[in-house]
Amino acid sequence: MEDYVHHTVGEEVNFIAGNYQIVEEGCLTHDGREFLYLMGIATVDNACCGQTGCRFLLVPGYIHSWKTKRNPQGKPVSEVEPITDEQKQAAIRAFLEACYPYAQINFSGKSHFS
């Protein structure tokens, strides 16, 4: 199990080449297990090669406890089990691609954006 610190939906985060924001956070059920997902939009507008963007999904893992505690900054924390099995990832990826076509999909037990 790992702790997952929730992001503030809609908050813009700047990075050297642009920005991103998490626009949706939710739970979906696949094969009888509930998992957490985030949808975000990234915009690259400060790079030498021009402006571009993408929609992405991040899957931290299966949910074991939902927002049962807070971190020192006051953000809610859930407990998740990372999805490391490649067959399960492939099945969830296919499920998500049907719901969110043309999105980049990543699996991680820890937030890439902390």
Domain residue ranges in the chain:
2-107
Nearest residue to 102 via CA among 61, 57, 59, 51: 57
pTM of the entire structure?
0.85
Q: How many CA atoms lie within 13 A of 17 on its CB side?
A: 10
The tens digit of pLDDT for each residue in 45-97 reads 876 766 778 899 999 999 999 999 999 999 999 999 999 999 999 999 999 99
Using DSSP's 3-state secondary structure scheme, residue 35 falls into strand
The tens digit of pLDDT for each residue in 19-48 reads 999 999 999 999 999 999 999 999 888 767
